[in-house]
A and B are shown apart, each in its own frame.
Chain A
Amino acid sequence: MSAAGNWRLSPQPGEVIDRSTKVNFTWNGTAVSGFAGDTIVSALMANGEQLMSRSFKYHRPRGVMTATFFDPNCSFQVGNEPNVRGAHRLVKDGDVVQAQNAWPSLKYDVRSANQAVGRFLGPGFYYKTFIKPQPLWPAYQKVLSTFAPGGKPPAIGTPHEIFDKRYAHPDVLVVGAGPAGIAAAIEAGRAGASVILVEEEYEIGGHLRFGGPAELAHLATLRAEVAALENVEVLTDSVVSGRYDDNWVGVIQRSGVWSKERMIKARVGTLVVAAGLIERPFVFEGNDLPGVMLSTAALRLTGLHAVKPGTSAVVFTANSTGDAAIERLTQSGVTIARIVDARKGETIRRALGRGHVSGVELGNGSKVQADLLVTATGWTAPTSLLNMAGDRPVWDATAARFSPADDLPSTVMATGGILGDGTTEELIAHGRAVGAEAARRATGAAPVEIPDLGRDPHPALFQSSTVGFVDFSEDVKNKDVVSAAKEGYDSSELAKRFTTSAMGPAQGKYEMINTMAVLADATNRDFQSTGTTVWRPPYAPISLGALAGRSFEPTRVSPLQGWHEAHGVEPLIAGQWIRPEHYGDPQAEALNVRTNVGIIDVTPLGKFDIQGPDAVKLLNLVYTNQWDNLAIGSVRYGVMCAEDGVVLDDGVTARLGEDRYLMTVTSSGAATVWEWMEMWLQTVHPDWQVLITPITTGMASINIAGPNSRELLSRITDIDLDPQTFPYMKVREGVVAGVENCIVWRIGFTGELSYEIHVPASYALHVWETLIDNGQDLGISAFGIEAQRILRLEKGHLIVGQDTDGLTQAHSAGLGPLIKQAKEDFAGKQELAWQEARDGDYPHLVAIETVDPALVPPEASQIVRGNNEIVGRVTSSRMSPTLRRSVALAQVPKNLSTPGSRLTIVLPNGSRAVAVVREDLAFVDPEGVRLRG
């Protein structure tokens, strides 16, 4: 029904709309208006719109049923956001709201023809129908997926809003801000506890908000009390999604924060569950027609949004809330056509009408004309959070609902309707006592006596004699549950999964009890023995954005990053580090190093300040070679192996003083090496007097490489660079470019004459720019990691992790000369002794040249022999600008490692290339003349 006219009531005492602020939006393309504070649904109903959606399977017309977040009939597409809960979401000016799951229009949906074949679409229809023939399943899937309900997600690439997160550690967290929940928060706050009060609605108050004058008076008092407490944080439009071990509680803030949504990860002292009760629908024929709604929905619409839900109503009531709805509807100008009082044994049989309620058939067969049918037939206790804390609720047949068992952990308490019934005063008193006790448990104050909160008797009302829906989200009827039981799915867990009842967006809040009641009837069991399924997190649907939260991906950059970016660097992402890969032409950069001079930022190189009289013991332990005789001012290359002899890392270490060493390791291995050394010191040799301090980024590292490097450096330092006094593999401390405390190493990874300067990082840019300024006439240019890799490959220097892998023992990496078995001990000693004893029967690292010099076999290309037996791989390969031919390193077996051996390499296109093993690993300057010059 879409009825023109004004469905807006005169101002109501508890209304939440702001009549002075009009909101304009569109509904399926038609301009509509409402007021600020309206939900989408209340604004639509105020404009006479009753048809909100089409159902999942049968595409039946649906209207407002619960007027809450979980209303199964009110999910909309709002702009590019699908599945917006329209009975909860406040409408905004400019919103473009569209119905979902209907074509070509909401009013005329061709798929509603499904109703005609509904008898064939019972539970298990898809499983049974499409299981054979199996090869056709992809085709079935393609067709069936077009029937999937829901809105359209935004296109990939659509700019998204921000979701973030927060941590909290409240002494007390109260779930639900009805009278008991607010009272609990107030009392816990007054006891000095830090409190978070979480409310799903936009305002606190629970059912008091749409109550009468007495309830509103209580609400005003409670709101004033809670507002006066600075230590009580109130989160509205927020939901507790789950309770986990050690009272870890997830809270989703849907609004009220600067981001779209926020997840709060709260570690709670005492969790107070005051989630109230959820009104339960009644199962009867036509119970899903627009115009059928719960009594609380009628109270919400009239009391909060001043919307008249119909003109003539039948009210089927079994409790005081139904009675209150009668009173409120009467006050709102709705004619009460008939009161059907379940407490007197009266009932209803079916709702009449097509597309909207036009009347009601009562239990005695008489019919009453009405456009509104309100039911107040019972309550469901939302015990999810208590279940998650280990509670197994028990069925209270007198009250016709589950209640918490007395088995909660001491850190979880319950109050309010979820626990029992009472007057507003009694609920508040109970909440106050629980709040005080919750604070005591969290903070250690004196125990508090908690009054009893009994449950009122209530008729057990679940279904009438007709066929109706038990699950509105999934279009499951009571007869479907009976069918499931007959087919043998007679346990609650099986029946749920077979029928999909309680598996929709509301996750059983409206459906579970009725489903189980029908199942109990069908199987001749009582309710307790039938039981329910287990409630698991999340309590409410959570957006993926909220779960993902803010994306933190730390990055690390050198102090020269700004210079690199200003000079057109191509960045290399290496773990967290962002490094300069090249500045446009890595081949030219490499060639310039061979002919002139280049500088490279190698700051990420791992660096450790090692001090102490036992430092040399540590070096001897973690390196395979000998460190006893390293003189002050000297540098030595070393290799670290794990205890299985596998190469762990490598680098050079300088002796700076009597008991002081500066160790360098690979950039990617820095963290591992630190842990490795600390492991030895803390677990095996805690008595050693040696201390390790990582200083990787405290010292920026600049490598100057090329034949002009000495000349360049001499222009900006007072350190004597004469090759006689400062030869290869030595280290000096001094002033560079006016910067004190620099360390200059005479080492090189590129095979060229080179110096590596370690500069206090804050002066790195100054030193770098000084080098650039002073090197112009020497042909200076910056070079990146790619050029460095070309150069080191030309020189035959291995890279740990590139030319080795997780199985490469030191002898396989050609590091045999560095393994000093004569030492007393070192990590990997025994394994390496065993490897050595294998007389070369292990993989070997070799340099290879392809027969076709222009062919660069990709790294990781397989090396095969015979009938495609894989025997090795190419570990590194590049085109050498110096030699103008490809150069490569490879791991091969012993019998293919001798110089002159011919290898067969499989290329990505499947073709084969032939390469020859070289005599030496170094392609350029194997004698090291340039390096040592």
Chain B
Amino acid sequence: MANTTPIARSQISIVGPTAVVDGWEISTVTSSAALTLRDESHLTKVVVRSTDGAPVASQLPGNGTARHVGDTLQIGSAPSEWYLMAKGATTASLVDGLDLPGASGYAAWTDVTHGRALVRLTGADSAKMLSKLCAINLADSVTPNGRAFRTSIAGVNTDIIRDDVNTVRSYLLHCERSSGQYLFDALLDAGIEFGIEPTGAGA
């Protein structure tokens, strides 16, 4: 068998210097722009689904909401569907403690680390920028921090989580991996008027 060292690569191409961290090639570009876009596709990602009545539902956030539990972001992304994400975690650790077999109902999880492109948009103008691509009302009264929803961004079916960073407005957006580069480019294009810059996950 060939002696090889696999390197994981995001669907979103990297411009500028890179480093390999935890087996992933990531950008080390640093931006101090007021509005930044960062590829976080390297986060470990798991989707949990259940049938009605499965006990796992009571262990995870409700539909449309997200919360941090330790290093893990738990997202109620749809009825009986949750995404769990964390940096550098194993898939097993993300679902550890969840009542997946269940006494009633049924639940299962699938590793989607490599199947979802994930980016983070951060900055005070992030909502204004997203409003160019997305028809959802992004006002605090409707989509406050911790809100999760699924909508079309530039024509791509995208999951959005309002996940502010140190009180700065921030959104996580993830979509099917194959559309990741398109989504990233569309976001950068929409952000030109706000001075958006890509920043690296390794920055």
Query: Residues of A at under 8 Å CB distance from B?
Result: 164-169, 194, 257-259, 265, 267, 550, 552-559, 562, 576-577, 603-604, 609, 611-613, 686, 689-691, 693, 695-699, 715-718, 737-739, 741, 760-763, 765-767, 770, 773-774
B8 partner residues in chain A, CB cutoff 8 A: 760, 762-763
Q: Residue on A with the closest CB to B156?
A: A554
With A556-B179, A762-B9, A770-B2 already in contact, the answer to whether A167 and B131 are too (CB < 8 A) is: yes
Q: Residue on A with the closest CB to B107?
A: A691
8 sample A-B contacts, Cβ–Cβ < 8 Å, listed by A number: A164-B132, A554-B179, A556-B176, A557-B178, A612-B51, A612-B106, A716-B4, A718-B1
B178 touches A697 (CB 8 A): yes
Closest A-B pairs by Cβ, 9 of them: A698-B115, A556-B178, A762-B8, A689-B106, A258-B193, A552-B155, A169-B137, A611-B108, A738-B4
Which of A165, A167, A718 counts the most B-chain CB atoms under 10 A from its CB?
A167
B47 partner residues in chain A, CB cutoff 8 A: 693
A762 touches B137 (CB 8 A): no
Tally of contact residues, B, Cβ under 8 A: 55
A553 touches B155 (CB 8 A): yes
Closest chain B CB from A160 CB (angstroms): 16
B52 partner residues in chain A, CB cutoff 8 A: 686
With A166-B131, A257-B193 already in contact, the answer to whether A559 and B9 are too (CB < 8 A) is: yes
A766 touches B4 (CB 8 A): yes
A613 touches B156 (CB 8 A): no
Contact of B1 among A169, A553, A715 (CB under 8 A): A715
Q: Residue on B with the closest CB to A557?
A: B178
B49 interface contact, C-beta 8 A: yes
A166 touches B106 (CB 8 A): no
B181 partner residues in chain A, CB cutoff 8 A: 557
A267 partner residues in chain B, CB cutoff 8 A: 137
Contact of A689 among B51, B113, B115, B136 (CB under 8 A): B51
Closest chain B CB from A665 CB (angstroms): 15
User: What per-residue 1/0 map shows which CB atoms of B163-203 lie under 8 Å from chain A?
Assistant: 00000000000001111011100100010110000000000
B131 touches A168 (CB 8 A): yes
A552 partner residues in chain B, CB cutoff 8 A: 133, 154-155, 186
Q: Residue on B with the closest CB to A608?
A: B110
With A258-B193, A739-B6, A763-B6 already in contact, the answer to whether A693 and B139 are too (CB < 8 A) is: no
Q: A167–B153 Cα gap in the complex (Å)?
A: 12
A766 partner residues in chain B, CB cutoff 8 A: 4, 6-7, 9
Closest chain A CB from B134 CB (angstroms): 7
Contact of A691 among B6, B49, B179, B183 (CB under 8 A): B49
A718 partner residues in chain B, CB cutoff 8 A: 1
Query: Residues of B at under 8 Å CB distance from A?
Result: 1-11, 13, 24, 41-42, 47, 49-52, 105-108, 110-116, 131-139, 142, 154-156, 176-179, 181-183, 186, 190, 192-193
B112 touches A698 (CB 8 A): yes
Q: A612–B131 Cα gap in the complex (Å)?
A: 40
Contact of A258 among B114, B178, B192 (CB under 8 A): B192
Closest chain B CB from A553 CB (angstroms): 7
**Besides A554-B155, A761-B114, A761-B177, 8 other A-B contacts (C-beta < 8 A):** A194-B139, A554-B154, A554-B182, A716-B4, A718-B1, A737-B4, A760-B114, A774-B2
B113 touches A612 (CB 8 A): no
B6 touches A738 (CB 8 A): yes
A194 partner residues in chain B, CB cutoff 8 A: 139
Q: Residue on A with the closest CB to B13?
A: A562
A763 partner residues in chain B, CB cutoff 8 A: 6-9, 114
Q: A156–B140 Cα gap in the complex (Å)?
A: 45
Closest chain A CB from B153 CB (angstroms): 9
Closest chain B CB from A99 CB (angstroms): 35
A761 touches B11 (CB 8 A): yes
Q: A760–B112 Cα gap in the complex (Å)?
A: 9
Q: A591–B76 Cα gap in the complex (Å)?
A: 51
Q: A765–B47 Cα gap in the complex (Å)?
A: 24
A612 partner residues in chain B, CB cutoff 8 A: 51, 106, 108
Q: A718–B3 Cα gap in the complex (Å)?
A: 11
Closest chain A CB from B156 CB (angstroms): 5
With A194-B139, A559-B9, A770-B4 already in contact, the answer to whether A691 and B176 are too (CB < 8 A) is: no
Q: A609–B115 Cα gap in the complex (Å)?
A: 12
A693 partner residues in chain B, CB cutoff 8 A: 47, 49, 108, 110, 112
B139 touches A716 (CB 8 A): no
A739 partner residues in chain B, CB cutoff 8 A: 6
Q: Residue on A with the closest CB to B3?
A: A738
A696 touches B142 (CB 8 A): no
Q: Residue on B with the closest CB to A737?
A: B4
B176 partner residues in chain A, CB cutoff 8 A: 556, 696-697
Q: Residue on B with the closest CB to A735?
A: B1
A265 partner residues in chain B, CB cutoff 8 A: 135
Closest chain B CB from A503 CB (angstroms): 34
B113 touches A762 (CB 8 A): yes
Q: Residue on B with the closest CB to A267?
A: B137
Closest chain B CB from A708 CB (angstroms): 15
B49 partner residues in chain A, CB cutoff 8 A: 691, 693
Which of B41, B47, B108, B111 counts the most A-chain CB atoms under 10 A from its CB?
B108
With A698-B112, A716-B2 already in contact, the answer to whether A765 and B9 are too (CB < 8 A) is: yes
Closest chain A CB from B150 CB (angstroms): 14
A773 partner residues in chain B, CB cutoff 8 A: 2
Q: Residue on A with the closest CB to B138?
A: A169
A553 partner residues in chain B, CB cutoff 8 A: 155
A715 touches B6 (CB 8 A): no
Q: A612–B49 Cα gap in the complex (Å)?
A: 11
Q: A165–B115 Cα gap in the complex (Å)?
A: 30
A550 partner residues in chain B, CB cutoff 8 A: 132, 154
With A164-B132, A258-B193 already in contact, the answer to whether A737 and B110 are too (CB < 8 A) is: no
A716 touches B110 (CB 8 A): no
B111 partner residues in chain A, CB cutoff 8 A: 698, 741
A716 touches B1 (CB 8 A): yes
Q: Residue on A with the closest CB to B177?
A: A697
B114 partner residues in chain A, CB cutoff 8 A: 698-699, 760-763
Q: Residue on A with the closest CB to B41?
A: A762
A760 touches B13 (CB 8 A): no
Q: Residue on B with the closest CB to A233?
A: B128
Q: Residue on B with the closest CB to A164?
A: B132
Closest chain B CB from A89 CB (angstroms): 22
With A698-B112, A761-B115, A762-B24 already in contact, the answer to whether A738 and B5 are too (CB < 8 A) is: yes
Which of A164, A695, A739, A765 counts the most B-chain CB atoms under 10 A from its CB?
A695
B110 touches A695 (CB 8 A): yes
Q: A559–B9 Cα gap in the complex (Å)?
A: 8
A169 touches B142 (CB 8 A): yes
Closest chain A CB from B57 CB (angstroms): 13
Q: Residue on A with the closest CB to B193?
A: A258
A166 touches B6 (CB 8 A): no
B51 touches A691 (CB 8 A): yes
With A716-B1, A737-B6 already in contact, the answer to whether A167 and B51 are too (CB < 8 A) is: no
A613 touches B5 (CB 8 A): no
Q: A767–B8 Cα gap in the complex (Å)?
A: 10
Q: A576–B190 Cα gap in the complex (Å)?
A: 21
Q: Residue on B with the closest CB to A609?
A: B110
Closest chain A CB from B1 CB (angstroms): 6
Q: A149–B114 Cα gap in the complex (Å)?
A: 59
Q: A770–B4 Cα gap in the complex (Å)?
A: 8
B193 partner residues in chain A, CB cutoff 8 A: 257-259
Q: A762–B133 Cα gap in the complex (Å)?
A: 27
Which of B110, B156, B190 counts the most A-chain CB atoms under 10 A from its CB?
B110
Q: Residue on A with the closest CB to B7?
A: A766
Q: A165–B134 Cα gap in the complex (Å)?
A: 10
B107 partner residues in chain A, CB cutoff 8 A: 691
Q: Residue on B with the closest CB to A693?
A: B110
Q: Residue on A with the closest CB to B11?
A: A559
Q: A194–B141 Cα gap in the complex (Å)?
A: 11
Q: Residue on A with the closest CB to B135?
A: A167
Closest chain A CB from B112 CB (angstroms): 5
B183 partner residues in chain A, CB cutoff 8 A: 554
